[in-house]
Amino acid sequence: MTKLVVANWKMNGDTSKISADLNYYAHVSETNKSNVILALPYIYLVWAKQHLLVNSKINLAAQDLSHYLNCGAYTGKINGEMLKDAGVEYVIIGHSERRNLIGENGPILVHKVRNAFESGLTPIFCVGEPLSARTDGSYLQFIELQLAGLEEIEQFKDIVIAYEPCWSIGTGKIPTMAEIQEVVEFIHQYMQKRFSYVKISVLYGGSVTGQNVDDILKIKSVDGVLVGGASLKVSDFTDICAKV
């Protein structure tokens, strides 16, 4: 199976950086691939699709979507239908920054995943333990609880799960390869038992760089990587994509 590489730009970039970076990515073989997915801030998605990635194989992701399914009086919200209309294929849901800074919780995330499915988007659902759960050994229970809400969804479809330990995001610290493998295999088993009829990909995210990506991708059960900081530097991101 082709491994995925997702760039999470978070709240970064402006028109000049995005046009320079995407023009480059659309024209070099290392990055112009359908398994490369760029999660840009909302306001740049339509422009990226219609002007910067014309004839490119690169896919786009949004970094969030509304938990309201239908259009209506929800000031400031963007729903899945709008994202699909903009040419977006994937949507990140439940990133730990949104869980921790904005307080997004289980039921809202379940709505978002359901809405992504209904809109024809593939969710990239993030899970991962805080340092305390890693230290006291309860990390698998923590992740199981984060996954449990998904069982409420009736019409389950293909999904990407990203294992991102909170303590590894933006810190330069990554788990050992054995630790990554343990959690990724746990997620595969959990999902397989309940949703064996869909395609489930499990990514690793948290301080991924051109230096550590080879080792991470050697883990058979890892289906790709979610890259934050290193995706903002063209040379680093190109380097990562060349290895995926």
Q: Which residues bind ligand PGA (CB under 6 A)?
A: 8, 164, 169-170, 205-208, 226-230
Nearer to ligand PGA, 194 or 229 (CB): 229
CB of 168 to ligand PGA, least distance (A): 6
Which one, 51 or 173, has the nearer CB to ligand PGA? 173
Residue 21 contacts residue 230 (beta carbons within 8 Å): no
| Minimum distance from residue 195 beta carbon to ligand PGA (Å) | 23
**Number of Cβ atoms within 10 Å of the Cβ of 125:** 24
Cα angle 35, 38, 42; round to 5: 145
Residue 112: CB atoms within 10 Å = 26
Catalytic residue flag (residue 95): yes
Quote the Cα angle for 22-215-211, to 5°.
50
- Looking at the Cβ atoms of 63 and 81, the one nearer to ligand PGA is 63
Please identify the residue of the shown chain whose CB is closest to the bound ligand PGA: 228
Q: Is 164 a catalytic residue?
A: yes
| Residue linked to tokens 């810190």 | 171
3 state DSSP class of 46:
helix
Q: Check 67, 81, 95, 104 and give the catalytic one.
A: 95
CB of 141 vs ligand PGA, minimal distance in Å: 22
